[in-house]
Amino acid sequence: MPVDVLVGLQWGDEGKGKIVDVLAPTYDVVARFQGGPNAGHTLTFDGTKHVLHQVPSGIFHPHIINVVGNGVVLDPVVFRQELKKLTDRGVNWGQNLYISRKAQLILPSHRALDRISEEARGGSKIGSTLKGIGPTYQDKIGRTGLRVGDILLPDFQERYQEAVSRHTTIAEFHGRGLEIEEFEADFFSAVEFLSTLQLTDTEYLLNDLLRQGKNVLAEGAQGSMLDIDFGTYPYVTSSSTIVAGACTGLGIAPRHIDKVYGISKAYCTRVGSGPFPTELHDEVGEQIRQAGREFGSTTGRPRRCGWIDLPALRYSIMLNGVTEIHLMKADVLDEFDEIRVCTHYQMPNGDKTDHMPDHGDLEKLTPVYESLPGWRTNLQEITDPQALPQELKDYVHFLEQHLEVPISIVSVGPDRVSTLHMA
């Protein structure tokens, strides 16, 4: 059976968690392939909001195997907190959650280094979530990191101290101390808890399941425009957020990949620093922010808001080989008389382009818009796609024509039931 992959097409926060939850009942396995607790996947059902950071979004379905892949960086403290909340809500995760032995561990000193490094940047901050993600991936690439499987070794404490010693040297270079002593007891308690879970070589688990005919949904975090290679570098995350990351982050071959679900909002948002061509600094941007409750589910930071950006979407679609698009939060635009769409960029010399340039050039470009009429309808009251207002249908058709990919789902509210499958 195939592996279908779900990726964000913008700068993250597109609503991937909800779509995984909606699609999950048709899959045997949901596997998370990159990122860490800097992700926040929000799911709403039965009137309750759930936010997941490291646990795969299929965890609410008892029949689904949930896998934390080797490409993930795992914070044991946050992971234990997540699982406790799930237990408190009656979710029995004990038998269907597996963690890769090869996933990297986020240490308290990684979080400290993240803060120290960001503060040292002064006015050129990346906009890090300060969860220790970047320093952990740095150690992974530098071949000095600790992995989940290491916690089972008799010399784990010694390995931990060696890592802290290295990190202390880096902190001292900045004239700072790590100041992690108060966090270490909680960390080691969480590590002991982690050691009781199903830690395994998940690359074997997943490939065995594929051979058994099981189908897998691979779940990414962040968005394609934050990819370490193809995003708006250096204002990106530290991992590969595109489809290619599913292969390296889970240990599956490219030949297994079938469908690629690309998730996009009906508008656009970004958290942290970096270029954002369609960003709105006016009352319209604030109206989108308030209507969409655009505040980070992990950090609580207000998100930057703007109109949808088709050159950026086309770029992400190309990189990922997207086979269908799921358009999220269309209801946020219910009150607008006019919906604007960026179709091209205008370069400083006056020429137009529909290509996504490097971020240095991106900051010099001006978005070129087309305007479409708004629908002025409460979409959350609609359960039949045929009942959608014509203006929204026209908006969807306009996007499909320009992106050359079908939009198969339109989300009109946060709940599971507010998910319309288009004909």
Q: Which of 153, 174, 195 is the last residue of a domain?
A: 195
Phi/psi at 369 (5° precision): -110, 150
Q: Kindly tell me the burial class for residue 291, based on how many C-beta atoms sit within 10 Å of its own C-beta (0-12, 13-18, 19 or more).
A: middle
Same domain? 277 vs 153: no
- Among the listed ranges 33-47, 147-161, 230-244, which one has the minimum average pLDDT value? 33-47
Query: Does the residue 271 lie in any domain?
Result: yes
Q: Does the pLDDT value for residue 18 go beyond 90?
A: no
Q: Is residue 214 part of an annotated ligand binding site?
A: no
Q: What pLDDT is attached to residue 364?
A: 85
pLDDT at 361: 77
pLDDT at position 297 over 70: no
Residue 278 annotated as part of some ligand binding site: no
Cα atoms in the 13 Å half-sphere on the side-chain side of 320: 35
Question: Which candidate in 140, 167, 256, 265 is catalytic?
Answer: 140
CATH number at residue 177: 1.10.300.10
Does the pLDDT at position 416 exceed 90?
no
Query: pLDDT category, 190, cuts 50, 70, 90?
Result: very high
Tell me: do 268 and 129 sit in the same domain: no
259 in a structural domain: no
The answer to the question of residue 97 being in a domain is no
| Residues above pLDDT 90, as percent of the chain | 80
Same domain, 293 and 391: yes
218 is in an annotated binding site: no
Q: What is the pLDDT of residue 122?
A: 73
User: Same structural domain for residues 167 and 301?
Assistant: no
CA distance 116 to 118: 6
For residue 39, tell me if it sits in a domain: no
Q: Considering the chain, what is the average pLDDT of its residues?
A: 93
Predicted confidence (pLDDT) per residue in 44-82, tens digit: 766 677 778 899 988 988 899 999 999 999 999 999 999
Q: Are residues 164 and 291 part of one domain?
A: no
- pLDDT of 359 reads 65
Place 298 in a pLDDT band, splitting at 50, 70 and 90: low
Are residues 285 and 176 part of one domain?
no
136 assigned to a ligand binding site: no
CA distances from 345 to 15, 285, 362, 419 (A): 26, 20, 9, 32
Q: Is residue 323 part of a domain?
A: yes
Domain identity same for 281 and 409 = yes
Of the chain, the percentage scoring pLDDT greater than 70 comes to 97
Per-residue model confidence (pLDDT) at position 21: 84
Q: What are phi and psi of 153, to 5 degrees?
A: -85, 150
The CATH number that applies at residue 285 is 3.90.170.10
* Token pair listed for 13: 């926060």
Residue 268 sits in the same domain as residue 416: yes
β-bridge partners, 100: 200
298 annotated as ligand-binding: yes
Q: Answer yes or no: 13 catalytic.
A: yes
State yes or no: pLDDT of 96 exceeds 80: yes
| pLDDT surpassing 90 at residue 306 | yes
Beta strands, E only, 16-86: 29-32, 41-45, 48-52, 65-68, 73-74
Same domain, 302 and 413: yes
Comparing C-alpha atoms, which of 55, 48, 46 is closest to residue 17? 55
pLDDT tens-digit series, residues 135-149: 999 999 999 999 999
271 and 416 in a single domain? The answer is: yes
Do 43 and 257 contact (CB within 8 A), yes or no? no
Is 229 in the active site? no
Between 155 and 88, name the one with better pLDDT.
155
Domain span holding position 184: 104-195
| Residue 281 is among the residues annotated as catalytic for this protein | no
* Same domain for 275 and 172: no
- How far out from the chain centre does Cα 185 lie? 30
4, 21, 28, 41: the active-site residue: 41
Decide if 53 is inside a domain. Answer: no
Asked whether residue 337 is assigned to any structural domain, the reply reads yes
87 known ligand binder: no
Domain end (from 195, 225, 252): 195
Is the distance from CB of 206 to CB of 256 less than 8 angstroms?
no
Q: Return the amino acid letter for 329.
A: K
State how many domains the chain has.
2
Predicted pLDDT at 123: 67
Domain C-terminal end among 195, 217, 238: 195
Q: Which of 4, 13, 75, 139 is catalytic?
A: 13
Residue 26 lies in a domain: no
> Where do runs of H (alpha helix) occur along 24-91?
76-88
Q: What is the pLDDT of residues 401-412, one digit of tens each?
A: 999 999 999 999
Q: Are residues 169 and 303 in the same domain?
A: no
